[in-house]
Amino acid sequence: DTGVSQDPRHKITKRGQNVTFRCDPISEHNRLYWYRQTLGQGPEFLTYFQNEAQLEKSRLLSDRFSAERPKGSFSTLEIQRTEQGDSAMYLCASSRDYGYTFGSGTRLTVV
Amino acid sequence: SQQGEEDPQALSIQEGENATMNCSYKTSINNLQWYRQNSGRGLVHLILIRSNEREKHSGRLRVTLDTSKKSSSLLITASRAADTASYFCATDVYGQNFVFGPGTRLSVLP
């Protein structure tokens, strides 16, 4: 499979717990993005990596959110002390030049 | 409000008809892209049009860009039930990341 892989596909967690998502981009893509999408809305930008450097973070990314991309390969997005408002689809995308390739997303439900 | 906004929010057509969706944006862009999303899935890149281009075709898709009106349209010809999905435009604003609109939900009825 040469696409963008995200794991897990679904995550149900209790409010206050920490969760971590993983994204494996297309290997030759140096840019990696995280977006969040709620029902009926378009994706909202969270953060962006070029290789291992995190170049931009949205104001949506509160202190409870942290993203890493060690060695410029896979990336993780961690949410600490989850809240019900964090329930959403978390999408990862990678690119080299123009056009993103998206993964299938991780759907997070906070109960 | 968002940089890109699609119109209409929802569209229902019969199989075989053409579907037209529009996208308006606010600031100058480097390029504009259209994506499709099937329910509960990731987004699929359809087509990219650069700011110096006016029209592009890809199979049954035709995209136009009018930078003077800050608008783009996506035309799907001879629609099929499998075209049922949400369609998003995403604008590449110089020096920023892609900004998505809220999308158009297209239903193609058999």
Q: Any chain A CB within 8 A of the CB of B95?
A: no
Instruction: Report the gap between the CA of B10 and the closest CA in chain A (Å).
Output: 11
**Which of A41, A44, A58, A61 should we substitute to test contact with B (largest number of B Cβ atoms within 10 Å)?**
A41
Q: Any chain B CB within 8 A of the CB of A74?
A: no
Per the prediction, chain B carries an average pLDDT of 90
How many Cβ atoms from other residues are within 10 Å of residue A23's Cβ? 26
Q: pLDDT tens per residue, chain A (111 residues)? A: 569 999 999 999 999 999 999 999 998 899 999 999 998 889 999 999 999 999 888 887 889 999 999 988 999 999 999 999 999 999 999 988 777 889 999 999 999
Out of A91, A98, A104, whose CB is closest to B31? Answer: A98
How far apart, in whole angstroms, are the C-alpha atoms of residue A43 and residue B4?
A: 12
pLDDT in tens, B37-47: 998 788 899 99
Sequence-separated (6 or more) residues with CB below 8 Å from residue A53? none
Sequence-separated (6 or more) residues with CB below 8 Å from residue A19? A11, A13, A78, A79, A82, A108
How far apart, in whole angstroms, are the C-alpha atoms of residue A4 and residue A8?
A: 13
How far apart, in whole angstroms, are the C-alpha atoms of residue A64 and residue A92?
A: 18
pLDDT in tens, B45-99: 999 999 999 999 999 999 999 999 999 999 999 999 999 999 999 988 765 678 8
**Is omega for the bond preceding B110 within 30 degrees of 0, making it cis?**
no
Counting one residue from chain A and one from chain B, the pairs whose CB atoms sit within 8 A come to 54
What tokens were used for A50?
């070029």
How far apart, in whole angstroms, are the C-alpha atoms of residue B76 and residue A91?
A: 26
Instruction: Report the gap between the CA of B11 and the closest CA in chain A (Å).
Output: 14
Could you tell me which chain B residue has the CA closest to the CA of A46? B97
Closest CA to B59 of B73, B72, B74: B74
User: What percent of chain A stands above pLDDT 70?
Assistant: 98
Q: What is the DSSP letter of B66?
A: E
In chain A, residues with a C-beta closer than 8 Å to the C-beta of B88 are 42-43
Within 13 Å of residue A85, how many CA atoms lie on the same side as its CB? 5
**Taking a contact as any Cβ pair under 8 Å apart, which residues of chain A between 9 and 28 contact chain B?**
none
Closest CA to B31 of B46, B51, B45: B51
Cβ proximity of B72 and B48 under 8 Å:
no
How many Cβ atoms from other residues are within 10 Å of residue B76's Cβ? 22
Q: Answer whether residue B1 shows pLDDT above 50.
A: no
Q: Report pLDDT for A57.
A: 86
